[in-house]
Amino acid sequence: MAALALAGCAVAPSIDATRPLLRDTEHRFYVYSDRNERTQGDILASLVLLGGLSQRYGNSDSDCHGTECRKAFSDAFGELGAEYARLGLDRLSLRYYELALANTPESADKHVDLAIAQLSLGRDEAAIASLGKAIGIAKGDADTERAAAGILLLLDRPQEAIGHAEACIRQSPPPRAAQYCALTAMAAKLRGGSDSLVAPLVGGDAWPAPLLDYLRGNIDEESLAKVIASTADPALRREGLSEALYYVGEAELARGHRDLALRYFRANLVMKVEGYWETTASRRRIIQLGGGDDPPEDSPPPSHIPIG
């Protein structure tokens, strides 16, 4: 009987044979995120750097008055914010981003960092305010427009997301960056936004062009999965799968398939890819969709107490 039971386990069906990206994550499990040890080392190095800055300029950044000094502290605090964000320590990340911004309040990048940290903690109104400041300072910078498009997509404001994605593309960033802006625009269109007024970007073989082809309906999920599987570098393969799981999840969410979308977003978190926008976005979607909670417990049957 035990042998039969074991045999039954051996032939258990996969998560979903018709969903190759989910299938490809079925047997994956990472104890640590993709650069956990390096990030912890970076944190220690940043703390040492802060100590050195304090010795050079004064007891702390509050004793710092010159531009050079302010920027030095801001960069160190900002790096700590990024490092804690990679580890998913959002409250620590937020605090260091606040300290970074206090030293260089005119930095669009620091406002974007703060907006993403606020978004991760569910502080949506604060995130919108920080994003607005970044956009006002950056005046059309492609990186800022790309970040704005992604944030607004997560805030379910697809038309605004498309507008910022278009603004990113109009700045003629490098092809890879432009394609990521086009990805956000396409995902926003699926979520109800209108067609982009920017001419479609030409695809290609280099990543993320195949992902853009998938969202446009030019290739299916099986073809997308084969492209990722053919990536020689294991780290790049892991990152590509993480990105694909997020965007396919967005596509399924746009089609009204909430539970299926949740499976893609959850599978992305299994990849534990540090510091990736798609990892942060997947976690945000899971929270939005109530997919991070335990299933409700069954209500106990009513008790019938005899009367009289």
The pLDDT value recorded for residue 66 is: 78
Per-residue pLDDT at 8 exceeds 60: no
Per-chain mean pLDDT for the chain: 88
The residue ranking higher by pLDDT, 18 or 83, is 83
Note the pLDDT of residue 2.
46
**pLDDT greater than 70 at residue 61:** no
Tokens 């920027």 — which residue?
Answer: 71
pLDDT score recorded for residue 9: 47
pLDDT at 58 over 80: no
Question: Whole-angstrom Cα distance, residue 209 to residue 199?
Answer: 15
222 confidence band (pLDDT: 50, 70, 90) = very high
Q: Give the model confidence (pLDDT) of 78-106 as tens digits.
A: 999 999 999 989 999 999 999 999 999 99
Residues 6+ apart with CB under 8 A from 293: none
SS3 letters for the chain? CHHHHHHHHHCCCCCCCCCHHHHHHCCCCCCCCCCHHHHHHHHHHHHHHHHHHHHHHCCCHHHCCCHHHHHHHHHHHHHHHHHHHHCCCHHHHHHHHHHHHHHCCCCHHHHHHHHHHHHHCCCHHHHHHHHHHHHHHHCCCHHHHHHHHHHHHHCCCHHHHHHHHHHHHHCCCCHHHHHHHHHHHHHHHHCCCCCCCCCCCCCCCCCCHHHHHHHCCCCCHHHHHHHHHCCCCHHHHHHHHHHHHHHHHHHHHHCCCHHHHHHHHHHHHHHCCCCCHHHHHHHHHHHHCCCCCCCCCCCCCCCCCCCC
What is the per-residue pLDDT for 35?
Answer: 87
Q: What's the pLDDT band for 62 if we cut at 50, 70, 90?
A: low
- Summarize pLDDT for 167-204 with one digit per residue, the tens: 999 999 999 999 999 999 999 999 998 876 665 666 67
pLDDT at 301: 58
Please report which confidence band the pLDDT of residue 48 belongs to, taking 50, 70 and 90 as the band edges: very high
pLDDT of residue 308: 52
Q: At what angle do helices 175-190 and 158-170 cross, to 10 degrees?
A: 160
Task: Give the Cα separation of 216 and 209 in Å (integer).
Answer: 11
In contact, 175 and 184? CB cutoff 8 Å: no
Considering the chain, what percentage of its residues have pLDDT values greater than 70?
86
pLDDT at 221: 96
Band of pLDDT at residue 63, cut at 50, 70 and 90: low
Least Cα distance to 123 among 273, 268, 284 occurs for: 284
| pLDDT computed for residue 34 by the predictor | 86
